[in-house]
Amino acid sequence: MSTSATRLAGTVALVTGASSGIGEASARSLAAQGATVALVARRKDRLESVATGIRASGGLALVFPADLTDGGSASLVERVLADTGRLDTLVNAAGIMLVGPALDAPAGEWQRNVDLNVSALLNLTHAALPHLVAAARDGRRGVADLVNISSVAGRQAIGGAAVYSATKAAVTAFSEALRQELAAQHVRVSSVEPGAVTTELTDHIRDGVREQNEAWYAALEALRPEDVADVITYVVTRPRHVAVNELLVRPTDQT
């Protein structure tokens, strides 16, 4: 790894949803900048594959299989701390996008959106915050970062995605309130709001709705996960006195 790409050397980044999509791409990008990345997702085999790729490129990665909806966020953070000794960056990239008309929606879909997009994010952030504050106070960089992946749907509610939009609006509001609370302690809180991205999110949408969603994506030159990872890496590699609080990124042809 070249010295020109070690801006995060000596830091630890916990990335959720790291088995695919934005989480995976972000973990690879942060590792390329010198961070030790703690990879979190449910699929252990996929995490091991991502970790192997990072190590082959000269990076450092550890695997922490976990279901973030099971209430074990505090123990997960303690496991990361036990293995790495610190936590400088948290990227909350895990999420689900179960969309479709509200009238016909199974109630379980709504709850799954809330459980992962909101409750799991809140619980993990709560467990991580004291360690981020400590890293900002004691670390070489003098700053720590919390990056929450929201969505354009959290900024502009979308018909047919009512609950998903609500969960992402909650993420954006939570991020801004935390930013105000933690700014003086040099914990930067950022909300990244992607538009259409080619990830596995659409795979989980129910039949009849998924096909409509895929056709809409096909009409765009959608973002790649790496495009969003570039944005996240930009955010967390700014100098200590620079905070990117909110960043909306869409495909050029998404209106």
Whether 164 is catalytic: yes
Q: What pTM, to 2 d.p., does this model score?
A: 0.93
Q: 3-class SS at 137?
A: helix
Q: What is the pLDDT of residue 1?
A: 46
What's residue 36's pLDDT? 98
User: Domain residues of the chain, as ranges?
Assistant: 3-94+115-193+225-240
pLDDT at 164 (0 to 100): 94
What is the chain's pLDDT, residue by residue, as a tens digit (255 residues)?
A: 444 468 999 999 999 999 999 999 999 999 999 999 999 999 999 999 999 999 999 999 999 999 999 988 999 999 999 999 999 999 999 999 888 888 888 889 999 999 999 999 999 999 999 999 999 999 999 999 999 999 999 999 989 889 999 999 999 999 999 999 999 999 999 999 999 898 766 666 666 677 676 666 677 888 999 999 999 999 999 999 999 999 999 999 988
- pLDDT value at residue 129: 98
Cβ neighbour number for residue 179 with a 10 Å cutoff: 18
Our CA angle for 161, 109, 50, nearest 5°, is 90
For CA atoms 142, 182, 180, 228, the dihedral sign is positive
CATH number at 3-94+115-193+225-240? 3.40.50.720
Taking only the tens place, the pLDDT of each residue in 5-25 is 689 999 999 999 999 999 999
Q: What torsion, rounded to 10 degrees, do the Cα atoms 231, 85, 40, 244 define?
A: -20
**Are the C-beta atoms of 29 and 233 separated by less than 8 Å?**
yes
Neighbours of 32 (CB within 10 A): 21
Residue among 164, 174, 191, 192 flagged as catalytic:
164
